[in-house]
Amino acid sequence: METWWVDNLLPLGGMADRICGGMAQVRNAERTTAAEILDRSLRRGRLGHAYLLSGDELHTLEDFSKGFIRALYCERRKEMAADSGAGTAALDGCGECPQCRKVVSGNHPDVHYLRPESKLRQIRMEPTQEFIRRLQTTAYEGRYKLGWISSIDRMNTQAANAFLKTLEEPPPKTVFILLTTEIERVLDTIISRCLRLHFAGNGELVFPTVARGIVGSLVKRALAVPKLGVLEKYRLLDAVVAGLSELRGEIEEAMLLRSPLSSGDKDLDTGLRDKYEVELSSSIESEYRLQRSRVILAIQWFLRDLWLVRSGIIGSTPAFPEHQASVESLAQRISVDQALANLANFEELQRILHTNVQESLAIEVSFLKLHL
């Protein structure tokens, strides 16, 4: 498996050059990005047949991949490239030519999309077979065919095995773009057949604003009483529920803007509109679940800070330095075992939220068990 780590599309070492194929020499001084890597491959007409984009944020991966698709089909790409000269990192089409418009509205006949569906958010056999069938037809516009799969980690085993066969023997002139925020859930056999671009964070812990707010209110409420009782726990739960619903609202708004439904295309037929609506609600659910797990993760990191202090482990950087003084005082109220139980409790919460359990109930149970 070949992996290129791309720090939020910030410059990376020149080793990324190897992705383009045919570049024997790696220039150490050269700094490049995922956009540059793909831009260069496009210019040379040497695209790999499958790219796996991994990272923490599905919307970052989706936005990036859509730019790449526009760049792939754009009619003015050549002129744009000539204008900007070599080495540009802008990986996008003009957004205005007929090809770009078809891509933006989701109507391009050679671009095929596959996403998780239904309440279980799975990519199942039937849509996968349909997706493969469509890719096996000749390209309408006579150029590349593109198969885009969001959250490939949600593909069930049966579908993944069917897709793997296509990936092993791809139809001619076909490029696959696969996205995942949970690389550990993707089959190794799929990973090994792709060029992988990883969009890493900057190595710091970045929690959603909502998550920081929740941790802040946890600290405040705990400090206000000698021991966090049931009543305080329920008040805290209210803050968590409000925070999560705010988060969902933000995601809905952002996702709607990215959907072809917001392109204002009045000619969209009902069937297509229904399809986009299903896709939209599925992306909202994916992104919400991802962000929610980061909110819980923030609480886990806070509880880890607490456990570190309680166990007297020194030398580890706290995740929430701004609360460190409070953590030191709160740590005195619980035993080491309780600090550990807190960690196990929220780990379990993460695990069961992956299943289809009722969210509010699961969160309530975890907060009621919290020792603080």
Q: Which stretch binds Zn ion (CB under 5 A): 58-66, 98-106, 155-163, 273-281?
A: 98-106
Q: Which residues contact 252 (CB under 8 A, 6 or more apart)?
A: 284
- Find where tokens 């009045």 sit: 266
Query: By C-beta, is 109 or 249 nearer to Zn ion?
Result: 109
Give min distance, CB of 246 to Zn ion, in A: 37
Q: How many CB atoms lie within 10 A of CB 258?
A: 14
Query: By C-beta, is 93 or 106 nearer to Zn ion?
Result: 93
Mapping DSSP to helix (H, G, I), strand (E, B) and coil, where does residue 313 land?
coil
| Residue 210 contacts residue 174 (beta carbons within 8 Å) | no
Map residues 54-93 to x or -, x wherever contact with Zn ion holds by CB under 5 A. Answer: --------------------x-x----------------x
Q: Residues of 128-157 as b/e, b for ≥16 C-beta within 10 angstroms?
A: beebbebbeeebeeeebbbbbbbbbbbbee
Give min distance, CB of 71 to Zn ion, in A: 9
42 binding Zn ion? (CB under 5 A): no
Query: By C-beta, is 8 or 263 nearer to Zn ion?
Result: 263
Residues 130 and 116: their CA atoms lie apart, in Å, by 14
Q: How many CB atoms lie within 10 A of CB 10?
A: 10
Give min distance, CB of 21 to Zn ion, in A: 25
Residues 196 and 3: their CA atoms lie apart, in Å, by 5
Query: By C-beta, is 97 or 343 nearer to Zn ion?
Result: 97
**Residues numbered 180-209 forming contacts with Zn ion, rule: CB under 5 A:** none
The residue from 23, 81, 89, 97 that contacts Zn ion (CB under 5 A) is 97
Closest CA to 178 of 281, 277, 48, 75: 48
Give min distance, CB of 102 to Zn ion, in A: 10
Going by their DSSP bridges, the two strands 2-7 and 145-149 should be labelled as: unpaired
Query: By C-beta, is 93 or 318 nearer to Zn ion?
Result: 93
Number of residues that bind Zn ion (CB under 5 A): 6
The residue from 12, 37, 38, 100 that contacts Zn ion (CB under 5 A) is 100
Query: By C-beta, is 93 or 170 nearer to Zn ion?
Result: 93
Give min distance, CB of 275 to Zn ion, in A: 24
Query: By C-beta, is 73 or 367 nearer to Zn ion?
Result: 73
Cα-flanking dihedrals φ and ψ of residue 244, to 5°?
-70, -35
- Find where tokens 């607490």 sit: 306
Write out the two tokens for 47. 């695209």
| Residue 20 contacts residue 197 (beta carbons within 8 Å) | no
Q: Which stretch binds Zn ion (CB under 5 A): 61-69, 95-103, 205-213, 357-365?
A: 95-103
52 binding Zn ion? (CB under 5 A): no
Give min distance, CB of 67 to Zn ion, in A: 11
Query: By C-beta, is 94 or 290 nearer to Zn ion?
Result: 94
In the complex, the residues that contact Zn ion under the rule CB under 5 A are 74, 76, 93-94, 97, 100
